Amino acid sequence: MDSLLETDLRRLDGELNRLLGDDALFLETLRSSAEVRILDLACGACDEAGVLARRIAQLRGEQTPEEGPGIRFTGMDLRAREIGWARDRFRGDGTTVYEFLEGDARRLDGHLQLPEQFDLVFMRHQNLWNGRRVWEEIYHKALEKLSPGGRLVITSYFDREHEQALAAIQAQGGKLLVTHRNPLSRELPTPGKSVDRHLAVLEKAG
Ligand SMILES: C[S@@+](CC[C@H](N)C(=O)[O-])C[C@H]1O[C@@H](n2cnc3c(N)ncnc32)[C@H](O)[C@@H]1O
């Protein structure tokens, strides 16, 4: 039987497939990139790393072994312990190269090894309510790092926090493509809070 974590990730994967699988421009971006780059900001222990990389690999379609790994996944969080767990857990395979960085998502430019742009920037359970100023800066960096045709995907625990995050990202030049209430989201003990309760896909406004 699945653990709660596995069930949550399976449901997240299903929602991502639904939201991104019909996004013709994004699919074109994935298929035309020699190396698809994923940036997972404030990822904690990055539980979703494998699911996300596999989903993007599937949306992108078959690669020949000669074409190499094809997916580069970078996760970042302030918390060293969680980043250490992610490093131990996701060690790379034929499809994906993983790297996990301890650091401040507002200071991405200090990490010289980071690519200039990413095709997908992901933030699971963005945390605007934990510090508006900090999170506005993280949203700004997330948009700055998006490639043309790239997508910013966020998930949120709460209805109102999600609305406020979307308003803040749009105020910084994000264009909302779709927002969706996850019908299978698992309720948590705090009233009104549930896992990946909302998901949204944005792009950088033209
Ligand atoms: C609500 S938790 C979400 C963690 C993970 N994405 C998840 O869904 O389980 C918010 C995360 O943001 C991280 N965080 C907060 N400020 C940050 C910053 N400036 N740079 C990087 N990570 C940050 C915290 O360490 C924490 O792991």
- Helix H or strand E encompassing 46: none
Please identify, by atom number, the ligand 1 atom nearest to the C-alpha of residue 76. 21
Domain count, the chain: 1
pTM of the full structure: 0.96
Pocket perturbation via mutation, ligand 1, pick of 109, 127, 185, 193 by most ligand atoms within 8 A of CB: 127
112 or 69: whose pLDDT is higher?
112
* Percent above pLDDT 70 for the chain: 96
**Residue of the CA atom closest to atom 14 of ligand 1:** 42
Q: For residue 69, name the pLDDT band (cuts at 50, 70, 90).
A: low
What CATH number does residue 188 fall under? Answer: 3.40.50.150
Q: What is the pLDDT of residues 33-57, one digit of tens each?
A: 999 999 999 999 999 999 999 999 9
Band of pLDDT at residue 1, cut at 50, 70 and 90:
low
Across 139-195, the runs of DSSP E, i.e. the strands, are 146-156, 174-181
Does ligand 1 lie within 6 Å of residue 86's CB atom? Answer: no
| Gap between the Cα atoms of 144 and 191, Å rounded | 34
pLDDT band at residue 90 using 50, 70 and 90 as cut-offs = very high
Residue 142 domain boundaries? 4-204
Calculate mean pLDDT across residues 161-185.
98
Q: Which atom of ligand 1 is nearest to the CA of 123?
A: 6
**Nearest residue by C-alpha to atom 9 in ligand 1:** 44
Q: Report, as an integer, the average pLDDT of 131-150.
A: 97
Which residues touch 195 (CB under 8 Å, ≥6 apart)? 8, 11, 157, 185, 186, 188
